[in-house]
Amino acid sequence: SQDETAARIRELKASLGSDVLLLAHHYQRDAVVALADVVGDSLRLARAAAEATARHIVFCGVRFMAETADILTDPGQAVYLAEASAGCSMADMASVDALEAAWDELAAAGAGKVLPLAYVNSTAALKAFVGRHGGLTCTSSNAAQALSWLLSQGAKAFFFPDEHLGRVAARELGLPLTETAVWDRGKARGGLDARAMAEARVYLWNGFCVVHQMFEPQDAAAWREKEPGIRVIVHPECRLDVIGEADAYGSTETLSRMVDAAPAGSKWAVGTEINLVARLAERNPDKLVVSLSPCQAICANMYRTRPKSVLRVLEAVAAGTPPPPVRVDPAVAGQARLALERMLACA
């Protein structure tokens, strides 16, 4: 039963002590979150991994997060993705080959100085591309800061994979929409027309999160009509027209903090993954907390991880036969680390 699994996990964690650290993203199911040592957004989890001394780090999240943790830990530490098949469709929308081709096209067209900026929701190979071209990574909580740093180098920015986060970061810095241009990842060549290439300051790869595309601007209007005074808050992976209807936007950590810190009786329509929204509702019974969307905005990849996934890893670790860790090739990791460390230093 679930209770027995949780009890066994607690026993194993107690016997392994400081040798093991369990990290969980806010989108994980409740039963997993309840077992974690650290629960956070992707920035907080990256920092927790970088600071960790445990030999075994069990990651409850998706692959790009576990790769980031591996890159930021020492070779003597091992990171296990609790469900090895948990990926992220947004990360898969930007292959290094496609980015290399786009980069060559920019250079050939004489676009001038361009620096790459990768949302951490990307493969390690892509972060390495960014590292070797002098750019940096960002998360949903520091995208505008990272973009600002990059533009202050007198460069244009090439932001990927998430078009929407890139656009809202540019807007936050006061850039008019005309200074952004969308690069069509569906085209092998000519993803951006020549005029846009010359005029724009921020190129946006048109990747997206399938979960956050479920939110619509009219969802906000519907809740405001139904529950006067409700505050609408959304994740910045939502489209700009949705963000435009919201009172505020922020990372999973920011959204959580806003609701948790709010006064009793306040009302919140939250535009992000359903497991987080349901948990916020449950731990704030004195407030009204609802999903912004009538659709089930669930991240199927995050949902793959169950307590029994964690138990499997911990039992193998305790038996001295740990599962294969997530290991980023050292050459790739070295370049990706440059991009991640630039982020951790500046944002």
Residues at the interface with ligand 13P (CB under 6 A): 26, 41-42, 121, 139-140, 209, 235, 237, 251-252
What minimum distance in Å lies between the beta carbon of 293 and ligand 13P? 14
Instruction: Say whether residue 57 binds ligand SF4 (CB under 6 A).
Output: no
In order of 12, 243, 269, 340, the CA distances from 217 in angstroms are 47, 8, 12, 33
Q: Which of residues 125-164 bind ligand SF4 (CB under 6 A)?
A: none
The window from 10-18, 85-93, 216-224, 335-343 that contacts ligand SF4 (CB under 6 A) reads 85-93
> What CA–CA distance (Å, rounded) separates 201 from 179?
5
Tell me, by CB under 6 A, how many residues bind ligand SF4. 12
Q: How far is the CB of 25 from ligand 13P (least distance, A)?
A: 6
Round to whole Å and give the CA distance between 325 and 67.
10
Helix (H), strand (E), coil (C) string for 289-335:
EEECCCCCCCCCCHHHCCHHHHHHHHHHHHCCCCCCCCCCCHHHHHH
Binding letters toward ligand SF4, positions 88-107, x by CB under 6 A: xxx-----------------
Say whether residue 242 binds ligand SF4 (CB under 6 A): no
Scanning residues 291 to 320, which ones bind ligand SF4 (CB under 6 A)?
299, 301-302
Nearest distance, CB of residue 259 and ligand 13P, angstroms? 14
Angle at 178 between CA 176 and CA 179, to 5 degrees: 75
What's the Rg (C-alpha) of the chain? 21
Q: Which residues have a Cβ under 8 Å from the Cβ of 51 and sit 6 or more positions away?
A: none
Chosen from ligand SF4, ligand 13P, none, partner binding at 139 (C-beta under 5 to 8 Å by type): ligand 13P
Shortest separation between residue 316's beta carbon and ligand SF4, angstroms = 25
Give yes or no for residue 209 binding ligand SF4 (CB under 6 A): yes
Rounded to the nearest whole angstrom, what is the least distance from the CB of residue 138 to ligand SF4 in the complex?
14
Out of ligand 13P, ligand SF4, none, what residue 279 binds, judged by CB under 5 to 8 A for its kind, is none
**Is 165 buried (19+), middle (13-18) or exposed (0-12) by CB count in 10 A?**
buried
> For ligand SF4, what does the binding mask look like between residues 252 and 281, x meaning CB under 6 A?
---------------------x--------
C-beta of residue 207 within 8 angstroms of C-beta of residue 90: yes
In the β-sheet with 156-160, what is the strand arrangement from edge to edge?
136-138, 114-119, 156-160, 202-205, 180-183
**Residue among 20 and 209 whose Cβ is closer to ligand 13P:** 209
Tell me which stretch binds ligand SF4 (CB under 6 A): 101-109, 140-148, 206-214, 217-225. 206-214
Residue 252 binds which entry of ligand SF4, ligand 13P, none, with Cβ cut-offs from 5 to 8 Å by kind?
ligand 13P
Smallest separation, CB 175 to ligand 13P (Å): 22
Q: Coil, helix or strand for 56? A: strand
How do beta strands 288-291 and 202-205 pair? unpaired
Binding residues vs ligand SF4 (CB under 6 A): 62, 88-90, 121, 209-211, 273, 299, 301-302
